[in-house]
Amino acid sequence: MSSKLQNITVLGATGSIGVSTLDVIRRHPDRYRAFALCAHSQVDKLFEQCVEFRPRFAVLRDASLAAALSERCRSVGLDTEVRHGVEALIELSSLPEVDAVMAAIVGAAGLEPTLAAARAGKKVMLANKEVLVMAGELFMHAVREYGATLLPVDSEHNAIFQSLPADFARGLESCGVQKILLTASGGPFRNSPLADLANVTPEQACAHPNWVMGRKISVDSATMMNKGLEVIEAHWLFAAPPDMIQVVVHPQSVIHSAVQYADGSVLAQLGNPDMRTPIAYAMAWPERIAAGVEPLDLFKIARLDFSAPDFERFRCLQLAYDVLREGGTAPAILNAANEVAVAAFLDGHLPFLGIALLNEAVLQAMPAGPEGSLADVLAADAEARHMAGQLIRQQRFA
Ligand code: NAD
Ligand code: MG
C-alpha cells in the first residue's frame, strides 16, 4: 500500500460521479484526502461535503455563490478557502500539492481544468468524456508531453483498460488486439415501439434501467449518443481505429466491455453496475481497494444477452462514427450541438426525436476545420452552440 496521503481535487464534486468518488475517499481516509471540492451552483450540497471532508479549497461558479458558501463555512469554524470561476478550477487542478484530479464535470465546461491537470502532469481520472470528444488530439498530446497518468473512469473504458496489456500504448495491433467490444445497455427505449419515442418525457428518458446518473448522461444513454461519445473516447484513449470499435448491446450491464484478441481469447471485466468500482480502480491503480460494491452474484444474474445496435433507431450513434471518421472539429461540433439539444429537451423546448435531428442539422450546416489549438476547439464549440440555439428558437424540430 502506498504510504503517502494523496491529495485529490474533485471537479464536479456534487454530481453523481463526484458523490461516488467521495464515498470511496470516505472509506480510505488513510490513503486519500479531498483537497479541493468543486461544483457549479449547489451551495447546500457543497457545504455539507465541506463539513464532512474539510477540504483545503472549495469552488463555485460565481463570486456571490462563493461568498455564501464562505460565510457558512466560517460560521461553523471551517477554514476551507472558497474560490470561484474557471480560473480557480484550473489552478486547483494544477497546484503542486495536488496528486490526482477526478474530472467529473459534465460537458464541455470540464475541458479547460482537465487539460490543465494533464499539463501539470497529474494523475487524471477521467469521467468527463466530453473532454476527449472535443479535443482528443490536444488532450492526449498534453498527457504524453507532460507525463500525466491518465486513468479512464467511464465504466466501459475502465473495463477495456483492465482487459488490455499494461503496455498497450505500443499499439493495439502489436498486442494482438482484433476488436474492442464496447458494451451498451441500450437505455430505456431499446425495445419501445418507434412511434412511442415521439412523446418521450424527460422523466422517462432519465429513468435508466441499470444506472443512476446525472440527467445529461441519462438522456445521452436514451438516445445512445452516450455510446457514440464513448466510441470517440475509446478511439483516443487506446489509439483504436473506428473500425476496431464494435458496439454490443448487452442489456444487463454486467460485462462492462471486452477486448478480443488474435488467438480467439476475449478478456472482459464484469461487475455490478456501480461506478464506485471503476472510480476505486482509478484511484488505487495499480493496486485494488474496497469500494463498497456488492459482490457480483452470477447465479442471481443467470443469463447475459447480446445483440447488435440499431443504427436507425439510434441515429446519434451513427453520427458519432461519422464525425470520428471525419475528424478535426467535427466531434466538437456534434458534442456542442448535443449539449444544447439535451438541455432544450430537458427544458421542454425540443421533443426527444428532435435531439438527433438537431445534431444532424448542425453538422450539415457547419463545416469542420482542423482540431488545431484549444482556441480553435472552443470557437467551433461556440459556433455550434449558437447555431443549435437558433434552430431551436426557429422551432425547426418542434
Ligand atoms: P452530474 O450532472 O450528476 O454532475 C455534474 C457535476 O459537474 C456537478 O457537480 C456540477 O456542479 C458540475 N458542473 C456542471 N457544470 C459545471 C460548470 N459549468 N462548471 C463547474 N462545474 C460544473 O453528472 P455525472 O453523471 O456525475 O457525470 C459527470 C461526467 O461523468 C459526465 O461527463 C458523464 O458523461 C461522465 N460519466 C458519468 C457516469 C455516471 O454514472 N454518472 C458514468 C460514466 C461517465
Ligand atoms: Mg459509460
Cβ–Cβ contacts within 10 Å for residue 306, how many? 12
Cβ–Cβ contacts within 10 Å for residue 188, how many? 18
199 and 142 in a common domain: no
Total tally of structural domains belonging to the chain: 3
CA of 218 from ligand 2 middle (Å) equals 10
215 in a structural domain: yes
128 in a structural domain: yes
Contacts of 207 (CB under 8 A, 6+ apart): 188, 218
Write down the pLDDT at residue 395: 87
Q: DSSP assignment, residue 294?
A: P
Percentage, residues of the chain above pLDDT 70: 99
Inter-residue contact 25 to 289 (CB < 8 Å): no
Query: How many angstroms from the chain centroid is the CA of residue 281?
Result: 16
Which amino acid appears at position 383 of this protein? E
Instruction: For residue range 292-347, list pLDDT tens digits in order.
Output: 999 999 999 999 999 999 999 999 999 999 999 999 999 999 999 999 999 999 99
Write down the pLDDT at residue 396: 84
64 and 76 in a common domain: yes
pLDDT of 211 higher than 90 = no
361 and 256 in a common domain: no
Query: Which CATH number characterizes residue 364's domain?
Result: 1.10.1740.10
Closest ligand 1 atom number to CA of residue 107: 32
Residues 261-274, mean pLDDT to the nearest whole number:
98
122 in a structural domain: yes
Contacts of 390-393 with CB under 8 Å at 24 or more apart are 391/358, 391/361, 391/362, 392/340, 392/341, 392/344, 392/349, 392/350, 392/358
CA of 232 from ligand 2 middle (Å) equals 12
296 in a structural domain: no
Closest ligand 1 atom number to CA of residue 19: 26
CA of 27 from ligand 2 middle (Å) equals 24
pLDDT of 358 higher than 60 = yes
140 and 191 in a common domain: no
Give the residue numbers spanning the domain of 65. Answer: 6-152
CA dihedral in degrees (124, 126, 128, 133; nearest 10)? 100
| Ligand 1, atom 36: closest residue by C-alpha | 127
Where does the pLDDT of residue 157 fall: very low under 50, low under 70, confident under 90, or very high at 90 and above? very high
142 and 31 in a common domain: yes
287 in a structural domain: no
268 and 158 in a common domain: yes
Instruction: For residue range 290-304, list pLDDT tens digits in order.
Output: 999 999 999 999 999
CA of 12 from ligand 2 middle (Å) equals 17
293 in a structural domain: no
Inter-residue contact 387 to 358 (CB < 8 Å): no
Instruction: For residue range 221-251, list pLDDT tens digits in order.
Output: 999 999 999 999 999 999 999 999 999 999 9
Residues 131-144, mean pLDDT to the nearest whole number:
98
Instruction: Give strand pairing partners of 58.
Output: 37, 82
CA of 392 from ligand 2 middle (Å) equals 28
Q: Which residues line ligand 1 (CB under 6 A)?
A: 12-18, 39-40, 42, 61, 104-106, 109, 127-130, 154, 211, 213-214, 216-217, 275
pLDDT of 36 higher than 70 = yes
Inter-residue contact 22 to 10 (CB < 8 Å): yes
Instruction: For residue range 114-129, list pLDDT tens digits in order.
Output: 999 999 999 999 999 9
Write down the pLDDT at residue 359: 98
The torsion angles phi and psi of 147, rounded to 5 degrees, stand at 65, 30
CA of 279 from ligand 1 middle (Å) equals 14
Instruction: For residue range 49-108, list pLDDT tens digits in order.
Output: 999 999 999 999 999 999 999 999 999 999 999 999 999 999 999 999 999 999 999 999
- If one residue of 105, 275, 279 were mutated to test the ligand 1 pocket, choosing by the most ligand atoms within 8 A of its CB, it would be 105
Write down the residue that cell numbers 473532454 correspond to: 131
The three three-digit cell numbers of residue 233, written as one number: 473516447
pLDDT of 2 higher than 70 = no
Inter-residue contact 268 to 168 (CB < 8 Å): no
List the end-to-end C-alpha distance of the chain, in Å, as a whole number: 56
120 and 185 in a common domain: no
Q: Structure pTM?
A: 0.98
CA of 346 from ligand 1 middle (Å) equals 16
Write down the residue that cell numbers 448542425 correspond to: 362
The torsion angles phi and psi of 79, rounded to 5 degrees, stand at -100, 25
Residues 29-57, mean pLDDT to the nearest whole number:
98
89 and 145 in a common domain: yes
Residues with CB under 5 A from ligand 2 (ion): 154-156
Cβ–Cβ contacts within 10 Å for residue 47, how many? 21
CA of 174 from ligand 1 middle (Å) equals 35
69 and 178 in a common domain: no
Write down the pLDDT at residue 86: 98
- If one residue of 83, 155, 217, 281 were mutated to test the ligand 1 pocket, choosing by the most ligand atoms within 8 A of its CB, it would be 217
Write down the pLDDT at residue 398: 81
How far, in Å, are 9, 321, 345, 369 from residue 361 at the CA level? 38, 16, 16, 17
Ligand nearest to the CA of 247: 2
Write down the pLDDT at residue 31: 98
Write down the pLDDT at residue 3: 66
Q: DSSP assignment, residue 5?
A: P
Per DSSP, the residues of 326-361 read H-TTHHHHHHHHHHHHHHHHHTTSS-TTHHHHHHHH
User: How far is residue 380's CA from residue 395's CA, in Å, rounded to a whole number?
Assistant: 23
Ligand nearest to the CA of 182: 2
Write down the pLDDT at residue 140: 98
Ligand nearest to the CA of 160: 2
CA of 230 from ligand 2 middle (Å) equals 7
Per DSSP, the residues of 211-241 read ----HHHHHHHHHTHHHHHHHHHHHHHHT--
Strands 266-270 and 255-261, bridge-based pairing: antiparallel
Mean pLDDT of the chain: 97
Taking Cα atoms as reference points, which of 76, 136, 126, 52 lies closest to residue 332? 136
Inter-residue contact 385 to 340 (CB < 8 Å): yes
282 in a structural domain: no
74 in a structural domain: yes
Instruction: For residue range 94-109, list pLDDT tens digits in order.
Output: 999 999 999 999 999 9
Residues 192-200, mean pLDDT to the nearest whole number:
93
User: How far is residue 162's CA from residue 211's CA, in Å, rounded to a whole number?
Assistant: 21
220 and 81 in a common domain: no
- E strands of 130-254, at which residues? 149-152, 177-184, 245-249
Strands 6-11 and 100-103, bridge-based pairing: parallel
- If one residue of 213, 274, 277 were mutated to test the ligand 1 pocket, choosing by the most ligand atoms within 8 A of its CB, it would be 213
129 and 45 in a common domain: yes
User: How far is residue 27's CA from residue 15's CA, in Å, rounded to a whole number?
Assistant: 19
Residues 201-213, mean pLDDT to the nearest whole number:
94
- If one residue of 106, 124, 126, 220 were mutated to test the ligand 1 pocket, choosing by the most ligand atoms within 8 A of its CB, it would be 106
